[in-house]
A and B are shown apart, each in its own frame.
Chain A
Amino acid sequence: MDIIVCVKRVPDTETRIRFSDGATAIEPEGVKYILSPYDEFALEAALRASEASEGGQVTVMTLGEEDSQETLRAALAAGADAAVLLSAQGSVTMDGLATAKALASELKNRKEQLVLFGVKAGDDDQQQVGPMVATLLERPCASNVVSFEMGEGVIRCDRAVEGGTEVVEMDLPAIVTLTKGAFELRYASLKGIMAAKKKPLEVKDADLAQARLTVERLDYPPERAQGRIVGEGVEAVPELVRLLRDEAKVL
């Protein structure tokens, strides 16, 4: 079965984020970019599903700028068969609905029965693009999925929900957003990296609408007030409890 995975290029979680006063975006210099962490899980889930079904292409797709090609090549090196860059005129913003519309307008003409997303992107943390695409395409969607299994015209997903695991079954075509699963990620081998250079990467113009959710300003989070070491070992416990009760007033 053919599967398409929507992925995003985001700053490495370790990267220091810098921006100037009054800025609405970060300074790109010195920022290392990676495939968004949950999108790695989605890609891994897709590769496993295609291996299990013996055949079937895994395509990765992103809406982004030229530099996203690097991210797509990394996904190809990890095992994806083909890549699509929807080249955004103007920048991709935090407005997930604008992103979802651009992705949906491409997806509606493609024949993959299963579209995978990360549950949230490592930069904006909006946790919205997958279910929005599903709603726009009028396809069923299961979010926060740990693992899934394909059946005859259906997909069965284990979702991590409050208080336990919910098992849902959806008719295909369907959309799934992935959280961390109980599997190890594979890393690109040298062979994979070489092979990736020859895999198809298609670049298309995207039609990305004007953002209607706009960043007006970025601020650094307030420094937490300097904390204090109450003491060492179990002897410090009574003082800690006193401070929690009388000073912090949280007990």
Chain B
Amino acid sequence: MGDVLAIAEQRDGRIRPVANEVVTVAASVAEGFGGTAHAVLLGGAGVGEHAGDLGGFGAEVVHVGEDPALEGHLPETHAAVIAEVVRSHGYTVVLFGATALGKDLAPRVAARIDAPLASDVTRVETEGDRVVGVRPIYGGKALARVGFEASPAVLSLRPNAFGTNGSQAAGRIEPFTPTIPEGVRTRIVDFQAAQSGSVDVDEASVIVSGGRGMKGAEHWSLLEDLRGALGPGTALGASRAVVDAGWRPHGEQVGQTGKTVAPRLYFAVGISGAIQHLAGMRTSQTIVAINKDPDAPIFAVADYGIVGDAFDVLPGLTAEIAALRAEG
């Protein structure tokens, strides 16, 4: 046995990039066990159209459950259906993406199947027939290596911490008829979209964050321009000082009491680098700091720094990056 199940997240019927990452990890864990990787994709009618693409990341089988009740994201409903898939196939490892949805769903599934859960894992390994995860704790001040005394083991994976490994393979699609639980006592009554088209800070591959050094909400257009120059996949972030001042919404806050992120590239502009901010972004691949104080602690974690006034540096930086991208 030793089969691994990846929960593939979709939004508005489209498979999200994080699903490819979770399937990639599932395939490598399955290989370690000599088992196979499966994926499960749930949604409304037609969601399975591109499910075979997950095979390109290593899913040999993609279970597709379509039902109008799965179109929205009522977590109770999704959790019940996923638990049923896990039980009926007997997986040894179940993997989620640690996105907002995944973090809400994984504990409900874990409780249903009575399995321990390690959340927001940044590394996964196999040791013989065991899976081991590494997860940051105490705001990233320590890394815990964790093992499981139960099967299945459930893990949620921090987006962008693993990467993908694609091929041309296609997965075998196995449609199933989900059993929709009755008597769900949660109703989604409204959704107020923030800015349309904006990327979520949790999953962005590039983040432009501003701190109190930006001096006021009215100066955010400078950061928006930089985001625009960096292209799609770029999100705005903020320090808590900025959120507390009401300049930006809490959804953008990075840090111990905000989002934990691991983008390819993180810009910290006018952010001092308090320990609670670092807790949210220190696992970013490349960190750039712009701060007028050469002794700001953010420079201790930054790969590259510019000492200077953000109001001078940002327009130049935006122009230079826009020019680079225009070259192609």
Contacts and interface: CB of A to CB of B under 8 A. Distances in A.
If over half of B's interface residues share one DSSP class (helix, strand or loop), that class is named, otherwise mixed; here it is: mixed
Given A170-B185, A233-B308, A215 B144 contact: yes
Contact of B136 (A125, A127, A128, A245): A125
Given A169-B186, A227-B301, A250-B285, A213 B250 contact: no
A214 B250 CA distance: 33
Nearest to B197: A163
A210 B143 CA distance: 22
Contact of B147 (A13, A125, A214): A214
Interface in B84-129: 99-101, 103-104, 106-108, 110-112, 114-120
B185 A241 contact: no
A140 B243 CA distance: 30
Interface residues of B, number: 96
A213 B133 CA distance: 10
Interface in B115-162: 115-120, 132, 135-150
A140 B76 contact: yes
B241 interface: no
B1 interface: no
B293 to A, nearest CB: 12
Given A140-B76, A229-B299, A240 B317 contact: yes
A230 B285 contact: no
B305 A171 contact: no
Contacts of A97: 110-111, 114-117
Contact of B287 (A156, A171, A227): A227
Given A180-B250, A217-B145, A229 B305 contact: yes
Nearest to B289: A227
Interface residues on chain A, size class = 35 or more
Contact of A94 (B146, B243, B275): B146
Interface in A1-30: 11, 13-14, 16-17, 19, 26
Interface of B: 11, 75-76, 79, 99-101, 103-104, 106-108, 110-112, 114-120, 132, 135-150, 184-194, 198, 200, 202-203, 206, 243, 250-251, 253, 256-258, 260, 264-265, 275-276, 279, 282-283, 285-289, 294, 299-309, 312-313, 315-317, 320-321, 324-325
19 contacts: A11-B138, A26-B138, A94-B144, A125-B119, A128-B110, A136-B111, A162-B11, A164-B192, A213-B146, A214-B149, A217-B144, A218-B142, A221-B282, A229-B294, A229-B306, A234-B315, A245-B324, A248-B265, A251-B324
